[in-house]
Amino acid sequence: MYTPQRIQQVKQRMQSEPKLQEAWVSIQQTADEALNKKDFNKLDYLALTYLMTNDRSYANTIKEILLKAIEAETWGDTEMMARIPVWRSHLGMAHKTFLCAMAYDAAYDVLSASDRTKIAQGLKRLAVEPALGDWLLEPTRIHALNSMGHNWWTSCVCQGGLLAMSLQNELPEAREWVEQLHEALPEWFDFAGDVLQQKAKSFDEAGGMYESLNYANFGIQEALLFRIAWINTHPGQDAGDIPQLAKLPNYFSQVCYPRTGILHSLNFGDSHKNVAAESSMMLLYTLGIKDPAILWYINQVEPGQHRDGFFLNRPLGFLYTPDLRKAPAIPNLPPPSCLPILAGQRCATHGKRMPPC
């Protein structure tokens, strides 16, 4: 994700975009604090700062953190590990897996061959094999697409896939796992529902998703991160078509409430009115969906308005926020329509049917 092309592009943009310059100052300050604390949870900041500055102190700290991290017996969650069958992976592990993928890839050139192998084997044991083994690979797979809300599948397997891509020089078997995931990913978008478990299909014909915006954006974001990384590591190869992607900008735009102040979004179930989908929007833009509504939408989101955003002063937001200076004042959206998948669905927290559209 932190490719040389992205690094060079953002450096060029910083020369004419003061907001990017301010964001970089904030990112480097966070990285410097993490440098002193050897903070695992800020590995993404350390990775980006090393690639931006070529200061090996950041890379050396990454090495120390990773070597310490792989000493753990497990990254599993106590409650999940007590289930029958055991659930070895969970959302917290998926986030740690992402951080390790960015860090290992960034610091690769300062690691010795023995350190690369040691770290790769440790991360395979702690993260890649539990994530992909539980959710994707046979014969160890115990989950289906709808085991635990649809976004668990994309988060666990796609972050596991990102880390597998980072480790594939040292783990030849990881190449096959990455390709299996790439082949399986469209199935998540095509999930047709499960009548017996009262699970709705993931996406309707108009592009709407039955989950709340919070869950929808998170699941889509995780899938898009893997798809972009796959394209980055497979130059010239056809990534295949996922037709639902082109409909997502309209879906996200239609369920938001433009207003003075923080952008609000349709809120039902496990979400909050301040949650926004700028992360998925900028990743869709990166994938070539150059809908001006995406620029408009991202431009409405205020820094820090929700917990997990891809804001300009965070590594992925810094690298992947497009140039918003050409964002339209008003998006050219089609007339709003009822999203069929939402009609008659039950709100997650109240068990009440939504009124008909």
pLDDT at 219: 93
Identify the residue with better confidence: 204 or 96: 96
What does pLDDT average to over the chain?
A: 91
- Does residue 342 carry a pLDDT above 60? no
Write the pLDDT tens digit of every residue in 127-163: 999 999 999 999 999 998 877 767 899 999 999 999 9
- Does residue 202 carry a pLDDT above 50? yes
CATH 1.50.10.100 in the chain is located at 4-202
Write the pLDDT tens digit of every residue in 214-237: 889 999 999 999 999 999 999 999
DSSP 199: B
Identify the residue with better confidence: 24 or 271: 24
The residue among 241, 161, 235, 219 whose CA lies nearest residue 3 is 235
Report, as an integer, the average pLDDT of 81-89: 94
Which two structure tokens, joined as six digits, stand for 4?
A: 């040389």
Which two structure tokens, joined as six digits, stand for 17?
A: 């975009």
Identify the residue with better confidence: 256 or 348: 256
Which two structure tokens, joined as six digits, stand for 80?
A: 């999940």
**Among the ranges given (39-53, 235-249, 334-348), the one the predictor scored with the smallest mean pLDDT:** 334-348
Q: For residues 138 and 144, what is the distance between their CA atoms, to the nearest angstrom? A: 12
On whether the CB atoms of residues 93 and 156 are closer than 8 A, the answer is yes
For residue 295, name the pLDDT band (cuts at 50, 70, 90): very high
pLDDT at 348: 36
Report, as an integer, the average pLDDT of 38-55: 98
Identify the residue with better confidence: 28 or 350: 28
Percentage of the chain surpassing pLDDT 70?
92
The residue among 146, 160, 53, 188 whose CA lies nearest residue 99 is 160
DSSP 135: H
3-state secondary structure of 353: strand
Identify the residue with better confidence: 215 or 281: 281
pLDDT at 337: 63
- Does residue 258 carry a pLDDT above 70? yes
pLDDT at 346: 39
- Long-range contacts made by residues 175-184, C-beta under 8 angstroms, separation at least 24? 177/128, 177/132, 177/136, 177/137, 178/230, 180/136, 180/137, 181/132, 181/136, 181/157, 181/226, 182/226, 182/230, 182/239, 182/240, 184/136, 184/157
Residues 6+ apart with CB under 8 A from 263: 256, 257, 274, 276, 300, 301, 302, 305
CATH 3.30.565.10 is the classification of domain 4-202: no
Report, as an integer, the average pLDDT of 10-38: 97
